[in-house]
Structure 1
């Protein structure tokens, strides 16, 4: 039997605990069904400072099974995300989780695998569990992560990283993939794949590149430009009209263009083209849509114009790019 301990603390994201536990519960059910026995593969418990009630960020209250002082045996520790409004509030909350950090460090010293999700990866980093390893986190926290943990190889373009027992994920769905990766490693691929089919989980590693571009381009405080960026991101296929865009935000075309260029270093039109290009790459990487369907969804004039753009930007055709990236992801 494998023992899974979820780390619970005030302000944690409940999904970061309940979803992994659901995965292990499904694995248990499949295991029992296929063996015809009442064996349990995974036993899941929650641990908190005092073993009492914990208030999650969504208002849910959960009761821990054990306290830190009991130091339960574990084959895996699960760290949920930490509720925060911005990087400053996240760092402030981390400073208040010193007991959690010390508790985690003891399991790190024992070599126990630890899975951390989104902002929870920072807690694993503070506990020393990522030194000399590769890791990922939520895309909007990438710069803060790299700055805080220079001894960690940040993988910003990847949603799920497994390096020497440190499973880090940059999204809720990737966190489920991390659990399935652990199941595959511990009890075999067949059981992991059965659980993935049962829960409709795509356990394939995915990219975060379009979101990274948005993070980099939004590293400013101009409220007008942020609103324009948000509008463009919601519908990359929308035909751009600067006059309509400016009027909708109560400014002139000249003011909009000047402030956008000052904030991002590129024009509104170039920004939209970058959004479209990144969205196109994502669709080629993660779907089986035809080139014509991709063109229609993203808003390019024609397949031939997209081919010319890819050849100019990447030196290859869209079909070659799709084949190359998908082959790379299969290894």
Structure 2
């Protein structure tokens, strides 16, 4: 039997991560019992102390045990904790040496959404892939430069450490763990029971590109604004160097340092974000939207769109267009 330790942190915890983790693993046990097999998971809430934590001023979660009293576990679940991440880490610092100690003893560790900040603070994903909520990408990169952040991924599995993407994508990681510790039939049953789409591997379609302007380079911000205001045009790096009287080498260096994107990557992301809005809010066809955001090569546009969002233009429009009529009621 696998011992599952769901951490009960201090702070603004996303309660659904705790409740959802508990429900998925205990339901997996029920499916195993129904198949005439022994349950696989012993699930406990684990706190730094035995003091109950109150979340959202309404919900109280009582730890089953303290980290000081739990000698060994098999899997640690770190739920999402929102707020100032320096404060979140400081408030939950006592968990970190325990997590490292348990990992050294063979325990695996999984973070859910922005729980990745606590996982990264433990040092266990230095040099490894890790995902988190796409909105937290800039902050995470600043705080943990030694971690290979992959914000488009729903799940990372780094042989002993796991992470999930934003918000409810943690359910996909839980299904992954259920399948890993039992077998696929149980994961499929959980998928159907909780109405979770199994085998999702990308959160790219949910990412809303806002532009990385939280930096001190005023000239780069001016260039970013120019790109965003003229995305319908065919913008080249040479045009920008001429318009802003800056050398290509200096532009590329400063732009990459400030935004973490090359100039070309930034132009592409702005254009694709505009195309996404076009598909979401109008009935224009693919070619019309493509021309509106400054592309003329259909194949190149479709390839870039799918690489950026994980969906083809047709798939994206079908999934997110606000004007698609609802099915008629019977």
Q: Do the structures match in fold with TM over 0.5?
A: yes
The answer on whether the counterparts of 1:134 and 1:163 sit within 8 Å (CA) in structure 2 is yes
Question: Matched residues in 1 for 2:285 and 2:212: separation?
Answer: 27
Structure-2 change in CA distance of 1:196 and 1:210 (3 Å): closer
Number of paired residues?
267
Structure-2 change in CA distance of 1:279 and 1:111 (3 Å): farther
Map of 1:301 onto structure 2? 284
TM-score for the superposition, normalised by structure 1: 0.70
Q: Displacement, 1:207?
A: 3.2
Q: Which SS does the other structure have where 1:78 is aligned?
A: strand
Stretches of structure 1 that go unaligned for 5 or more consecutive residues are 222-259, 281-294
The answer on whether the counterparts of 2:154 and 2:172 sit within 8 Å (CA) in structure 1 is no
Q: CA RMSD in A?
A: 3.3
For residues 80-132 of structure 1, what are the alpha-carbon distances to aligned partners after superposition, in whole Å with 9 as ceiling and x for unaligned?
11121xxxx22122122221112111122223111101221111111111022
Q: Displacement, 1:306?
A: 4.2
The answer on whether the counterparts of 2:205 and 2:310 sit within 8 Å (CA) in structure 1 is no
Map of 1:264 onto structure 2? 225
Q: Displacement, 1:300?
A: 5.4
Map of 1:117 onto structure 2? 112
The answer on whether the counterparts of 1:140 and 1:215 sit within 8 Å (CA) in structure 2 is no
Question: Matched residues in 1 for 2:274 and 2:168: separation?
Answer: 24
Within a 5 Å distance, the mapping from 1:234-249 to structure 2 comes to none
Question: Matched residues in 1 for 2:119 and 2:182: separation?
Answer: 25
Question: Matched residues in 2 for 1:305 and 1:184: separation?
Answer: 44
The answer on whether the counterparts of 2:155 and 2:163 sit within 8 Å (CA) in structure 1 is yes
Question: Matched residues in 1 for 2:310 and 2:181: separation?
Answer: 28
TM-score for the superposition, normalised by structure 2: 0.70
The answer on whether the counterparts of 1:80 and 1:116 sit within 8 Å (CA) in structure 2 is yes
Q: Displacement, 1:136?
A: 0.7
Q: Displacement, 1:268?
A: 5.0
The answer on whether the counterparts of 1:57 and 1:83 sit within 8 Å (CA) in structure 2 is no
Task: Say which structure is richer in helix.
Answer: 1
The answer on whether the counterparts of 2:6 and 2:45 sit within 8 Å (CA) in structure 1 is yes
Please say if 1:34 is aligned against 2:35: yes
Find 1:176's aligned residue among 171, 174, 177: 171
Within a 5 Å distance, the mapping from 1:301-320 to structure 2 comes to 301-306=284-289, 312=297, 315=300, 317=302
Q: Which SS does the other structure have where 1:43 is aligned?
A: strand
For residues 178-232 of structure 1, what are the alpha-carbon distances to aligned partners after superposition, in whole Å with 9 as ceiling and x for unaligned?
11111111111111111101111013334333554534356489xxxxxxxxxxx
Question: Matched residues in 2 for 1:72 and 1:57: separation?
Answer: 31
Over 6 Å off, 4+ runs: 260-263
Question: Matched residues in 2 for 1:146 and 1:314: separation?
Answer: 33
The answer on whether the counterparts of 1:6 and 1:77 sit within 8 Å (CA) in structure 2 is yes
Q: Which SS does the other structure have where 1:23 is aligned?
A: helix
